[in-house]
Amino acid sequence: METRPSLLFQPESQRFLVVDDEPHIVELLKDYLDLLGYPCETASNGRQALERIREDGNFTIVITDICMPEMDGIELMKAVKEIHPDVDFIAITGYTRQYRYTDVVKAGASDFINKPFDLDELQAKIDRIIRERKLREQLRALTRHDPLTGIFNRRYFDEKLAEECYRAWRQGYPLFLVMFDIDHFKEYNDAYGHQAGDELLRNLAEIMVSSTRHLIDLPFRYGGDEFALLIPQCGVNGVKKVVNRIFQRYAGLQADPTSLSAGVARFFRHDLDANLREDIDDLIRRADEALYEAKREGGSRLVFDPASL
């Protein structure tokens, strides 16, 4: 079986936040990071930095002083790690040595540097952290994507579905789950061989990626010849357009005797006192039932769960 690189892998862009109560240090670090080509924002204390990070969760590396008023660097690192554990910290420590190295590391620092610091040493530490971030990113991609098709796998579907359902409920926007199945896939395999069948699965994955909003609509290989698609912030008519676009492009493959069937369900919170998992399981069940109905009616069609219309 040929292994395909992830079609959905997007290299991470680094964004820095510099935190220090000494304006000349902040200005120096910001100018230096700008020179290196890294977007950078600043904060004058830990409390202000925490507010920035809560408002904008896209910071990847924070360079922070340890001794600051209102909220020191140790408190800042602990608070940020609770909400964004992937953020890397470089802690700046002074000669006073109020904190031990082990205290800084336990709080969440990836590295530290002493004042007054050398910019070449700082760049070396930044480069090392970025290399490690890229390696972690590549490893995460390997665990999340299906090696045959290059889209997300079933394991990541289970993880991401819960996250997307929770976000849709909290922010009050619609979320649809589409389940796809290739009609007569076994006959196609029997007629043309498993290599041709694998290529057909790869082609469908590419069609799903090219027919949807990049990293907003999320395509998954659910298992075998069954695929799933999460479509957030979209109405019924928009979902129909997306699915029909996928149907039309798949038909263009002329992979007779196959076609596509799809079942669609919308996520609902039926009982706010109940476990969210129950409503997620209900969403999958309703999408599966709609898909089964499409197959029962002869395939090559889209069926909505009645409650989702």
Residue 67 forms part of a structural domain: yes
Q: Domain check: are 68 and 205 in the same one?
A: no
SS3 for 253?
coil
Q: Domain check: are 131 and 275 in the same one?
A: no
What H or E segment, with its residue span, contains residue 49?
A: helix 46-55
Q: Domain check: are 164 and 80 in the same one?
A: no
**Catalytic residues, which ones?**
225
Q: Domain check: are 161 and 119 in the same one?
A: no
Q: Domain check: are 175 and 304 in the same one?
A: yes
Q: How many CB atoms lie within 10 A of CB 214?
A: 10
Q: Domain check: are 137 and 175 in the same one?
A: no
Q: What is the rounded CA–CA span in Å between residue 37 and residue 10?
A: 19
Report the number of distinct structural domains present in the chain. 2
Q: What is the rounded CA–CA span in Å between residue 193 and residue 229?
A: 27
Q: Domain check: are 301 and 203 in the same one?
A: yes
Angle of helix 194-210 versus helix 236-251 axis, rounded to 10? 140
Q: Domain check: are 79 and 29 in the same one?
A: yes
Instruction: Walk along the chain (309 residues) and give the pLDDT tens digit of each residue.
Output: 566 778 887 778 999 999 999 999 999 999 999 999 999 999 999 999 999 998 887 899 999 999 898 899 999 999 999 888 999 999 998 755 566 777 788 888 999 898 888 999 999 999 999 999 999 988 888 899 999 999 999 999 999 999 999 999 999 999 999 999 999 999 999 999 999 999 999 999 999 999 999 989 999 999 999 999 999 999 999 999 999 999 999 999 999 999 999 999 999 998 888 889 999 999 999 999 999 999 999 999 999 999 999
Amino acid code (one letter) for 1: M
Is there a contact between 77 and 109 (Cβ–Cβ < 8 Å)? yes
SS3 for 117?
coil
Range of the domain at 89: 16-144
Transcribe 118-176 into DSSP letters: -HHHHHHHHHHHHHHHHHHHHHHHHHHB-TTTSSB-HHHHHHHHHHHHHHHHHHT--EE
Q: Domain check: are 69 and 111 in the same one?
A: yes
Domain finish residue from 121, 144, 167: 144
Q: Which neighbouring-strand residues pair with 88?
A: 61
Q: What is the pTM of this model?
A: 0.75
CATH of the domain at 165: 3.30.70.270
Q: Domain check: are 270 and 161 in the same one?
A: yes
Domain finish residue from 144, 177, 204: 144
